[in-house]
Structures are given as structure tokens and as C-alpha cells.
């Protein structure tokens, strides 16, 4: 989980995830060292305080590279859900499957009002908000080029997978997305990301 600690619930989210029996390690990459935040006392946390903001996609690469376990969850710090979803997804994260993420309807309370029997479907395109919570086996991950810093990392991971990618329904997610990356200070970086991604994905 890369973070700059913008969402107020970030620490609570880390604590909730740490309590899940399937979580062996939580790698927190702190891209706001000036805040002097602390995760002391939270179980299973490997804490990396960067000297400066390394941005989202390089942090994802670092986290996957350093992970002690093969089953990976790339978590956004602004996502809120019932984290028992980890129990449901755990057996599906295998070397035979590519990337798993929530369907766009998981974010729509008109279509998903309560958690139910999760349905999986192979999908050929990346749905909106898919990158807020992605699950995969370490061998299904293609490192994101360092030239792509904030946006398009989820597109890269999804489109570079040569295995079936899945999305799932009937599980509610919430939270205000892009609380950090949506800030105006990152607009120039994101514009360059679009150019770099377009050139590199060819």
C-alpha cells in the first residue's frame, strides 16, 4: 500500500487488513516522509519510509519485488470494504489466473447494496476503479515501467497479463477514489503518464 496519508481512515484500514488470517505481511510505502507518521504496534507491517515521493507505480513495483509471499494484494489507501473479501479471494489467486479486481458495479450502491455470493467472470477490459484493489499471484505481475508514475499502472498490469483476468460482483466497495492523485499538483505527471503509457504499451 503506497500512501501519503490523505484519507483519514488509512491507519484504520491497515489495522483491519492486518487482522485477516490470510494476510502474512503488509508493506506500507510512505511517500510523505515529512508527516512522520507511525504504524508502530500494527501486526505484520513492513514499513518503508521513502526520502521523497516515489509515486504510486514505482511503489507497487517495489512492494511486489519485496513481498515475502506469492499471493499479492495491491491496496489503495482510500478503499473501504468488508475485508472478509480476502477470505473469498484467497483461493482464486493462483499462477493460472492473471489479475483479479472488483467490477465497476461494486462501487455502485444502486447495483450492489449488500455483500452476497461473489460472482467471477473473465474480462477483456479493465473496468473503472479496478486498480483500487487488485489481486494476483506474484508470477502474474509485469513490472510497470518507471516512466509511468501515477496513472496507467493498473492498465499496464492488466494488459500485460497473458492469463485470464477476472472481475467479481456482489461485494460493496466505497471510499472517495483518487483523494491523493486527484490533487492538481499531480496533473503534469499524469499528463506525461498518458504519453509514456501510449508509447510503451505498443
C-alpha cell belonging to residue 7: 484519507
Tell me the backbone φ, ψ of residue 198, rounded to 5 degrees.
Answer: -60, -40
What integer pLDDT is reported at residue 114 of this predicted model? 84
Return all residues near 75 (Cβ < 8 A) that are at least 6 apart.
1, 13, 17, 133
pLDDT tens string for the chain (202 positions)?
999 999 999 999 999 999 999 999 999 999 999 999 999 999 999 999 999 999 999 999 999 999 999 999 999 999 999 999 999 999 999 999 999 999 999 999 888 878 989 999 999 999 999 999 999 999 999 999 999 999 999 999 999 999 999 999 999 999 888 889 989 999 999 999 999 999 999 8
Superfamily of domain 2-200: Spore Coat Polysaccharide Biosynthesis Protein SpsA; Chain A (3.90.550.10)
Cα gap 42→15, rounded to integer Å: 6
Q: Where are the domains of the chain?
A: 2-200
Cα gap 198→6, rounded to integer Å: 29
Cα gap 27→16, rounded to integer Å: 14
Return all residues near 193 (Cβ < 8 A) that are at least 6 apart.
148, 149, 150, 151, 152
DSSP percent split of the chain into helix, strand, coil, nearest 5: 35, 20, 50
CB 32 within 8 Å of CB 3: yes
CB 27 within 8 Å of CB 55: no
3-state SS of 96-142 is CCCCEEECHHHHCCCCCCCCCCCEEEECCCCCCCHHHEEEEEHHHCC
Q: What 3-state class would DSSP assign to 168? A: strand
Helix (H) or strand (E) run with residue 32 in it: none
Amino acid at each position: 500500500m503506497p500512501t501519503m496519508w490523505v484519507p483519514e481512515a488509512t491507519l484504520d484500514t491497515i489495522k483491519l487488513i492486518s487482522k485477516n488470517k490470510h494476510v502474512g505481511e503488509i508493506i506500507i510505502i510512505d511517500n510523505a516522509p515529512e508527516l512522520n507518521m507511525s504504524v508502530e504496534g500494527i501486526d505484520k507491517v513492513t514499513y518503508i519510509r521513502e526520502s521523497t515521493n516515489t509515486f504510486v507505480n514505482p511503489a507497487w513495483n517495489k512492494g511486489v519485488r519485496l513481498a515475502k509471499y506469492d499471493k499479492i494484494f495491491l491496496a489503495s489507501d482510500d478503499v473501504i470494504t468488508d475485508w472478509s473479501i480476502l477470505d473469498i479471494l484467497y483461493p482464486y489467486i493462483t499462477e493460472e489466473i492473471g489479475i483479479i479486481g472488483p467490477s465497476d458495479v461494486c462501487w455502485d450502491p444502486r447495483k450492489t447494496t449488500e455483500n452476497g455470493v461473489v460472482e467471477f467472470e473473465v474480462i477483456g477490459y479493465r473496468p473503472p476503479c479496478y486498480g483500487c484493489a487488485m489481486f494476483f499471484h506474484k508470477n502474474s505481475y509485469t513490472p510497470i515501467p518507471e516512466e509511468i508514475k501515477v496513472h496507467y499502472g493498473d492498465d499496464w498490469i492488466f494488459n500485460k497479463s497473458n492469463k485470464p483476468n477476472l472481475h467479481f460482483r456482489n461485494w460493496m466497495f466505497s471510499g472517495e477514489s483518487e483523494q491523493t492523485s486527484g490533487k492538481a499538483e499531480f496533473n503534469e505527471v499524469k499528463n506525461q503518464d498518458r504519453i509514456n503509457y501510449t508509447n510503451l504499451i505498443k
